[in-house]
Amino acid sequence: MTSYCIFQEPWWLDAVAPGAWTSLEVSRGTQLTARMPIVVRRKYGFRIIRQPPLTPTLGPWFRSPATNTVREMAEQKKTINELIDQLPNWDYFEVNLHPCVTNWLPFYWRGFEQTTLYTYVLPDTSKLGALWAGMQENVRRHIRKAEKTLSIRTDLSVGQLLDVVALTFSRQGRRLPFKRELFCRIDDACRARDARRMYFAEDASGAIHAALYIVTDREYAYYLIGGADPQLRSSGAQSLLFWQAIKDASEENLKFDFEGSMIEPIERVFRAFGTVQVPYLRVYQARPLVKALIQVCPRSLMAGAARNL
């Protein structure tokens, strides 16, 4: 496993943060050895470096993944320090490291802090029978129930998908936490590269019960967003769509990443699919004034886009 993923691609960053991202790079001779994209924005006069919307991790990417050998660990320490040295002036820094980047000590030695987040992954989708058996019984029951009354469509529009996702947020008394235009840019970029899959669960009357959006790279299928009609949530539609997405990932020999949530009810759903819990690190640091403002009003300055089920 390398620390490469779709979310580090220039075309992805052009979609989620047009004109706002740059790439920190380290080379040895003529060979690029490390790369870490960052997104820089201003908010309330402060310069903020953090994750762009709908982008779970940003890197860094290393040409040679670190091992526990003395030489490799020393090289990674040197490389991370060189990336840090390239950071522009900032007031708040927050980046989610790729799950395979587990050595954050160079950041710690430079005064950064860290917290651990979790995603949920099916690392081997080749044996569908084993995957089916590994799911909790209630998930299998939901899928069997949904198969009796719902059909799966993949030919509807991204606008229809966002309408369903918006229903999920409205149930929580919230609006979509990202702009529709932003998501349409993502969809245009992914569609042009055959890097996305959309799924809709529809009943005989034409009502859409749930929708799911998956993005793919050469190693993974990632759950990006999804939602369900609050009036039709008992149909098992979401479980049915996840199962279809997993089966499609199996056909393409891809691992499946639920891009896990720290929200307890959502974590419970992802875990029920027989997934493996995978930690990844959020590295952050705030200048004294920003740290004080966050303590007084944590949501106003640092509010960002969220994903949901």
Per-residue pLDDT of 61-71, as tens digits, reads 998 765 667 88
For domain 121-277, say whether CATH 3.40.630.30 is its number: yes
Which of 268, 273, 282, 260 lies closest to 120 in space, CA to CA? 260
Query: Mean pLDDT over residues 204-211, rounded?
Result: 97
Consecutive H or E run containing 142: helix 137-149
Which of 224, 233, 219, 163 lies closest to 189 in space, CA to CA? 224
Calculate the average pLDDT of the chain: 92
Which of 214, 185, 180, 211 lies closest to 197 in space, CA to CA? 214
Identify the band that residue 307 occupies on the pLDDT scale cut at 50, 70 and 90. very low
pTM for this prediction: 0.92
**Using CA atoms, how far apart are residues 223 and 210, in angstroms rounded to an integer?**
14
Which of 241, 240, 229 lies closest to 163 in space, CA to CA? 229
Q: How many percent of the chain have pLDDT more than 70? A: 94
249-281 pLDDT, tens per residue? 999 999 999 987 788 888 999 999 999 999 999
The CATH 3.40.630.30 domain(s) of the chain lie at 6-117+279-302, 121-277
User: How do strand 276-286 and strand 151-153 relate by DSSP bridges?
Assistant: unpaired
Q: Give the side-chain half-sphere CA count within 13 A for 125.
A: 22
CATH, range 6-117+279-302? 3.40.630.30
| Token digits of residue 273 | 């699919």
**Using CA atoms, how far apart are residues 194 and 278, in angstroms rounded to an integer?**
27
17-30 pLDDT, tens per residue? 999 999 999 999 99
Q: Is the pLDDT of residue 302 over 60?
A: no
Q: What is the pLDDT of residue 246?
A: 98
Greater model confidence, 7 or 309: 7
Q: Which residues pair with 286 in a beta bridge?
A: 92
279-291 pLDDT, tens per residue? 999 999 999 888 8
Identify the band that residue 301 occupies on the pLDDT scale cut at 50, 70 and 90. low
115-140 pLDDT, tens per residue? 999 999 999 999 999 999 999 999 99
Q: What is the pLDDT of residue 289?
A: 85
**Using CA atoms, how far apart are residues 52 and 41, in angstroms rounded to an integer?**
10
Query: Mean pLDDT over residues 175-190, rounded?
Result: 96
